[in-house]
Amino acid sequence: MTMQLDVERIKKDFPILDVGVRGHRLVYLDSAASSQKPQAVLDAMTRYYETTHANVHRGVYAIAEEATRLFEEARAKVAAFIGAPSPRGVVFTKNVTEGINLVAQSWGRANLRPGDAVLLTEIEHHANLVPWLMLKEWLGIELRYIPLGEEGQLDLSDLDRLVDGVKLVGLTAMSNVLGTLPPVRRIADAAHAAGAVVLVDAAQYVPHLVTDVAELGADFVGLTAHKMLGPTGIGVLWGRESLLDEMPPFLGGGEMIRDVRLDGFTPNELPWKFEAGTPPIAEAVGLGAAVDYLSGLGMESVRAHEIELTAYALRTLTERFGDDIVIHGPAEPGMRGGVVSFSFKDLHPHDVSQVLDEWGVCVRAGHHCAKPLMRRLGVGATARASFYVYNDEADVDALADALDKTSDLFA
Amino acid sequence: MPGLEDLYREIILDHYRNPRNRGELPSPPAYRVEGFNPLCGDEIVVYLDVSEDGRVVDLRISGQGCSISQSSASMMSSAVKGKTVDEARSLIRAFKAMMSIHEQRLDADGQPEDAVIEEPGVKLGDLEALQGVVKFPVRIKCATLSWNTLQQGLDEADQAAPSPA
């Protein structure tokens, strides 16, 4: 049964929400860019540094073994959180960007030849565009795109033709601009039927919805800790082990090898084969604590809360501002994540965001690292409010009140 | 902490609401130069008519952007129109000097210390209203976009001009 989130109690877990801005309380509506961190995550990382820190997979002394245990325990927690069959397929990366570059460089260079096709979508973040554009330059691969259709949804009417003959399909599970939740499973099934592998950018999905890599039908899934209450500097690429086993290493160095001679090397086994150098250990511990925190809330409850809050936001903004506000993306709250990109009057998003800041309201303004999508929407930039477990209706009201002030200033 | 009144001075809002010299000039003969701010998607097009004796006889601005980039462009157009290319270059240098005052040179109240204008004799006039932008470092690029674009236009005009006998 889905329990309702006790947001008042949750807010108390986040020290930064006590920090005032210009005499106003902090109204943080930019979690799609990066989430805030609960005390439990901060404590886990501090405790690790204060009591346990040593390099992992090296020392045989007690704290080194404890550090290794904590590091690998975090991996197991992430595996369980995303329904991965085993931690072997859970590769620690810096972020989703690095995870996708790993796939493009390692899997891509081993499996793609000039003229081979990769299918992406028009709503991708630059992180899932540029690594493939780079391969296009280096290898001469062909890139195809599933177009944006009505109401922020992908237009799948031509999917069969688009997917025909492609080697890889890469798509976001939730748009960071529109909040769109593409039908990943349906697209993955079509991709697999065409013999392609499927890469899912789940940066915005994993923090907000129950994730099961098998249900998504993905072969690779990228996630990042800092958008799910964890620290910056660590992410995960989950990959199907049979694929990861066949792939050449990505970055070379310590940790990723079994043996090194002056004339060659033997790579380590999974997942360490893809983890060159000393990993972000405290960050892994923090990610593990973030997973524990989210699991404690229950991801069904997190999702239910965000649907409710998004519905309230769409209703409030539309009621209060009518034609003065254009909200991009799906109109139905159950069909989208808690990301609300909007254009307000004819004001530039930077001006909107600047005035909102005066009232302690933090929203993102800009192109959200999705310039092709911005062009497709016919806007240079948008303002974007995004919600998480510590946001409530009062935060939405604060946004609306601050938009009124913005309106007054430029009137 | 700087407040909104430092940024959105009344004269800035006036130029934003009623931009001067908005439009296009036939090009050629006018020079047409585009400027972009990739961070915020602002784009500006400066049309520049330079006479044979090196005077900016006409200048128009088109494109879109935030209130700071639009008002800065509008104020620039008013300030530069009718000036010689050399005077326009002095103005650009003076404006950019004003914009290069960084956060660490603000005192405790957020007031710029020793705001040195490195172009003696150049009067910025209304443009000084944009000085508050330096307290908002992210927005400095918005204010300088049109000026960098103008500079590029003047460079093109110089290159095209017949070398003095």
Domain edges within chain B? 4-160
Q: What is the mean pLDDT of residues B79-83?
A: 91
Q: How far apart are CA A285 and CA A42, in angstroms?
A: 10
Asked if residue B106 has pLDDT above 70, the reply is: no
Asked if residue B103 has pLDDT above 50, the reply is: no
Most confident of A13-17, B122-126, B132-136, B159-163: A13-17
The yes/no answer on whether domain A7-30+298-410 falls in CATH 3.40.50.10890 is no
**pLDDT score of B131:** 84
The tens digit of pLDDT for each residue in A164-196 reads 999 999 999 999 999 999 999 999 999 999 999
Q: CATH number for the A42-296 domain, one of 1.10.3720.10, 3.40.50.2000, 3.40.640.10, 3.40.960.10?
A: 3.40.640.10
Asked if residue A130 has pLDDT above 90, the reply is: yes
Please indicate whether, in this complex, the C-beta atoms of B40 and A374 are within 8 angstroms of each other: no
Q: Which residues of A touch B142 (CB under 8 A)?
A: 350
Please indicate whether, in this complex, the C-beta atoms of B41 and A380 are within 8 angstroms of each other: yes
B4-160: CATH number: 3.90.1010.10
Residue with the larger pLDDT of the pair B4 and A10: A10
Asked if residue A147 has pLDDT above 50, the reply is: yes
Confidence of residue B119 (pLDDT cuts 50, 70, 90): low
Helix (H/G/I), strand (E/B), else coil: B69: helix
ipTM metric = 0.79
Please indicate whether, in this complex, the C-beta atoms of A348 and B8 are within 8 angstroms of each other: no
Asked if residue B116 has pLDDT above 60, the reply is: no
Asked if residue B165 has pLDDT above 70, the reply is: no
Helix (H/G/I), strand (E/B), else coil: A80: helix
> In 10 A of CB B82, how many CB atoms?
13
The tens digit of pLDDT for each residue in A360-409 reads 999 999 888 998 998 898 888 899 999 999 999 999 999 999 999 999 99
**pLDDT score of A360:** 95
Q: How far apart are CA B37 and CA B40, in angstroms?
A: 6
Confidence of residue A2 (pLDDT cuts 50, 70, 90): confident
Residue with the larger pLDDT of the pair A204 and B129: A204
**pLDDT score of A139:** 96
Pick the catalytic residue from A17, A26, A369, A400: A369
Least confident of A126-130, B35-39, B101-105: B101-105
**pLDDT score of A117:** 98
A341: β partners: A384
B3 touches chain A (CB under 8 A): yes
Percent of chain A's residues with pLDDT above 90: 92
> In 10 A of CB B152, how many CB atoms?
16
Residue with the larger pLDDT of the pair B31 and A121: A121
* Cβ-based burial of A277 (10 A; exposed 0-12, middle 13-18, buried ≥19): exposed
> CA–CA distance from A293 to each of A228, A288, A365, B135 (Å)?
10, 9, 29, 39
* Cβ-based burial of A183 (10 A; exposed 0-12, middle 13-18, buried ≥19): middle
DSSP labels, A209-253? S---HHHHT-SEEEEEGGGTTS-TT-EEEEE-HHHHHHSPPSS-S
**pLDDT score of B104:** 42
| Crossing angle (nearest 10°) for helices B140-160 and B85-99 | 160
Asked if residue B109 has pLDDT above 60, the reply is: no
Q: What is the mean pLDDT of residues A250-276?
A: 95
Residue in B39, B64, B68 closest to A366 by CB = B39
Residue of chain B whose Cα is closest to the Cα of A369:
B39
Q: How many A-B residue pairs are in contact by the CB < 8 A criterion?
A: 50
> CA–CA distance from A20 to each of A23, A28, A204, A359, A394 (Å)?
6, 11, 27, 10, 16
Confidence of residue B120 (pLDDT cuts 50, 70, 90): low
Looking at CA atoms only, how far is residue A107 from chain B in angstroms?
Answer: 31
Look at the block and give the residue holding tokens 């072997």. A88
The tens digit of pLDDT for each residue in A285-336 reads 999 999 999 999 999 999 999 999 999 999 999 999 999 999 999 999 999 9
Residue in A354, A374, A409 closest to B41 by CB = A374
Residue of chain B whose Cα is closest to the Cα of A22:
B1
Asked if residue B107 has pLDDT above 60, the reply is: no
Least confident of A99-108, A274-283, A335-344, A402-411: A402-411
Least confident of A217-226, A290-299, B108-117: B108-117
Instruction: Verify whether residue A362 is a known catalytic residue.
Output: no
Q: How far apart are CA A207 and CA A291, in angstroms?
A: 9
Residues A173, A177, A178, A179, CA torsion sign: positive
Mean of per-residue pLDDT scores for chain A: 96
Q: What is the mean pLDDT of residues A9-26?
A: 94
Helix (H/G/I), strand (E/B), else coil: A327: strand
Percent of chain B's residues with pLDDT above 70: 84
Please indicate whether, in this complex, the C-beta atoms of B67 and A351 are within 8 angstroms of each other: yes
Please indicate whether, in this complex, the C-beta atoms of A366 and B142 are within 8 angstroms of each other: no
β-pair type (B31-37, A142-146): unpaired
Helix (H/G/I), strand (E/B), else coil: A117: strand
Q: Supply the DSSP symbol for A362.
A: E
B108 touches chain A (CB under 8 A): no
A177, A345, A350, best to mutate vs chain B, most B CBs in 10 Å? A350
